[in-house]
Amino acid sequence: MKPAPFSYFAPRSLHEAVGLLVEHGDAAKVLAGGQSLVPMMAFRLAMPDVLVDLGGVGELEHSRVEGDTLVLGAMTRHRAVQDMGWLRTRCPLIVEGVELIGHPAIRNRGTVGGSLAHADPAAEWPAILLALDGEVDAVGPNGNRTIRAADLFQTYFTTALAPDEILTEVRLPLPDGAPTGSAFVEMARRHGDFAVAGVGTQISLHPNGTIVDARLALIGVADRPVRAGSAEAALRGHGPTEEVFAEAASVAIGEIEPSSDLHGSSDYRRHVAGVLVRRALTIAARRAAAA
């Protein structure tokens, strides 16, 4: 239960951090909040020879609103987002999702960049990014690039990031214009555990009351977070009614491939996901109507 030996570097700038990754290649890993990497090192599932600690890279800690976009530096802690009081009304999906991550001590350390790079299929941040059609920036030896949410998550714990790339910034478009409501709900065995299944949603209403835009992102139900595109299509143009939500739920559970494990069988997860889709849509619709 003790991590294997490694060399430790604490760069003060992004430039320096990238240089260290280039120098040490596959032997190196970046350390962000350590809330996933350090347990993996304790289990010796990860044995990097070199750790590049991003904790001292101040450039990665910014957060701001630019127009209708929430911009978060990769090292923004979960807790810092939870503490953005205004965000709770503007986009509850984000704050509710973040509040479901582990426990206070985990949220004090864990970072948005670390969660996205780690890409646990049951993690909340990837669903938030997907549901909001967000994007991330990454920097590597060949410079900067932007990766859209839809292209980031590949399979279990695997993203489009190269080993020598550092995720630097996350951009989340916030709702504007049309009355919009959002929500994040999940089912976990105990409070703070990873979700058996979870759903983040955002819906926007036309002045005539019908749904003009719907997003559904599901976690814990496949090898990566899933956007339920067909269920979203089934919602558009319809009124936010119980029947429409039930139909969307039955379409959504056809778009996922849950696996069976200790915490639930594939069928059970599918069932839970359907219930959560209806629940999330009901809350989001209520909020949109009140907006």
* 191 touches, from other proteins, ligand FAD, none (C-beta below 5 to 8 Å by class): other proteins
Q: What residue ranges in 67-117 does DSSP mark as E strands?
A: 69-73
Q: Of residues 34, 140, 173, 179, which one binds other proteins by CB under 8 A?
A: 34
Q: Which amino acid is at 68?
A: D
* 86 touches, from ligand FAD, other proteins, none (C-beta below 5 to 8 Å by class): none
Residue 179, CB-side half-sphere exposure with 13 Å CA sphere:
16
Q: Is residue 135 near ligand FAD by the rule CB under 6 A?
A: no
Please give the Cα distance from 166 to 116 (Å, whole number).
11
Part in contact with ligand FAD (CB under 6 A); list of ranges 34-42, 231-239, 240-248, 264-272: 34-42
* Residue from 95, 83, 274 nearest 182 by CA: 95
Would you state the torsion angle of the CA atoms of residues 14, 18, 23, 29, taken in this order, to the nearest 10 degrees? Answer: 100
Please give the Cα distance from 249 to 182 (Å, whole number).
16
Q: 81 or 288: whose CB is closer to other proteins?
A: 81
Q: Is residue 29 near ligand FAD by the rule CB under 6 A?
A: yes
Please give the Cα distance from 261 to 267 (Å, whole number).
11
Q: Of residues 19, 46, 53, 59, which one binds other proteins by CB under 8 A?
A: 53
53-82 binders of ligand FAD (CB under 6 A): 54, 74
Part in contact with ligand FAD (CB under 6 A); list of ranges 18-26, 30-38, 205-213, 236-244: 30-38
Contacts of 111 (CB under 8 A, 6+ apart): 32, 33, 74, 75, 76, 77, 78
* 4 touches, from ligand FAD, other proteins, none (C-beta below 5 to 8 Å by class): other proteins
Please give the Cα distance from 57 to 73 (Å, whole number).
10
Q: Of residues 166, 234, 280, 284, which one binds ligand FAD by CB under 6 A?
A: 166
Q: Is residue 103 near other proteins by the rule CB under 8 A?
A: yes
Please give the Cα distance from 250 to 247 (Å, whole number).
5
Residues of the shown chain interacting with ligand FAD in the complex, contacts defined by CB under 6 A: 29-37, 39, 54, 74, 101-102, 106, 110-111, 113-115, 117-118, 120, 123-125, 161, 166-167, 194
Residues of the shown chain interacting with other proteins in the complex, contacts defined by CB under 8 A: 1-10, 34-35, 38-39, 42-43, 51, 53, 55, 79, 102-106, 108-109, 190-192
